[in-house]
Amino acid sequence: MLKGSNIHKSFGDLEVLKGIDLEVAPSEVVVLVGVSGSGKSTLLRCFNFLERINEGSIEVDGQVVDPKKHKLSNIRAEVGMVFQHFNLFPHMTVLENVIEAPMIVKKMKKADAIVLAKGLLDKVGLADKADVYPSKLSGGQKQRVAIARSLAMEPKVLLFDEPTSALDPELVGEVLGVMQQLAQEGMTMVVVTHEMKFAREVADRVIMLDEGRIIESADPVTFFENPSHERTKQFIQLVD
């Protein structure tokens, strides 16, 4: 579904990703962990083409993406992204946030987009907030709207960059709950998170990034109970 081969990414002299190979199968949930600065966000941003890779290739749904040839906006529409700070559009109501991209990008009729959006808001438990502006929502509600907004484009893969890190602890659960539900419905997901419980219970595979390289990739049980790399052991001790 999503495949990166030999991804290299540098910012100036700083090489942040040093040859990442990662293939995500349809309906697979991959949790990406690693210490701060290891390149997790950068990798997700490369998968969303918000950053240009210096070397290597990215395939979406079996097609190699060439930024020179393809219209990146078309590809991005197939890869959704959920951000740490939600990035909702503050000048639009919740409903308008969700219908915007289907209408503008997919040229969907407004009436159809509204039906779609209402269904998605219902799914994330926010049907009653459709006409509210984002500033009136709690962090957890904002993030659930952001998820609904991404889902409205019917992406093939959904990327999450620390979706609960900006939330008060008591609001983390409601967002993880929605994500877990998506995973059960077969959504392909790559999730950067420090919520190890989520990794243990929802992930099909946990991957450890360290200084721009994947040093561990295993099912959650093996990853947490029997990691092969010393750095992984240290990391698990640190976060658990």
Partner 1 sequence: MELLETVWDVFLRTYPGFLEATLITLKITAVALVLGTILGLLFALMKISRSKLLQTIANLYITVIRGTPLIVQIMFLYFGITSLIVLSGFWAGAIALGIHNGAYIAEIFRGAIQGIDKGQREASSSLGMTRSQSMRRIVFPQALKRSIPPLGNQFIITLKDSSLVYIISVPELFSMANIEAAQSFQSLETYLVVGVYYLVLVMIFTYLLKLYENKLNVDK
Residues that bind ligand ATP (CB under 6 A): 11, 14, 16, 34, 36-42
Provide the residue type at 54 as one letter.
N
Q: Is 70 in the site for partner 1 (CB under 8 A)?
A: no
Q: Is 64 in the site for partner 1 (CB under 8 A)?
A: no
39 binds, among Mg ion, partner 1, ligand ATP, none (CB under 5 to 8 A by kind): ligand ATP
Q: Is 80 in the site for partner 1 (CB under 8 A)?
A: yes
16 binds, among partner 1, ligand ATP, Mg ion, none (CB under 5 to 8 A by kind): ligand ATP
Structure tokens at 212: 């721009």
Among 114-122, 143-151, 162-170, 230-238, the segment contacting partner 1 (CB under 8 A): 143-151
Cβ-in-10-Å burial (0-12, 13-18, 19+) of 42 comes to buried
Structure tokens at 17: 């990703």
Which positions lie near Mg ion, rule CB under 5 A?
41
42 binds, among partner 1, ligand ATP, Mg ion, none (CB under 5 to 8 A by kind): ligand ATP
Buried b (16+ CB within 10 A) or exposed e, 113-124: bbebbbebbebb
DSSP 98-147: HHHHHHHTS---HHHHHHHHHHHHHHTT-GGGTTS-GGGS-HHHHHHHHH
Q: Which residues make Cβ contacts (< 8 Å) with residue 186, sequence separation at least 6?
A: 26, 27
Among 30-38, 99-107, 173-181, 225-233, the segment contacting partner 1 (CB under 8 A): 99-107
Q: Which residues make Cβ contacts (< 8 Å) with residue 132, sequence separation at least 6?
A: 93, 94
* Nearest distance, CB of residue 16 and ligand ATP, angstroms: 4
3-state class (DSSP) for residue 220: helix
Nearer to Mg ion, 33 or 178 (CB): 33
73 binds, among partner 1, Mg ion, ligand ATP, none (CB under 5 to 8 A by kind): partner 1
Among 2-10, 79-87, 122-130, 229-237, the segment contacting partner 1 (CB under 8 A): 79-87
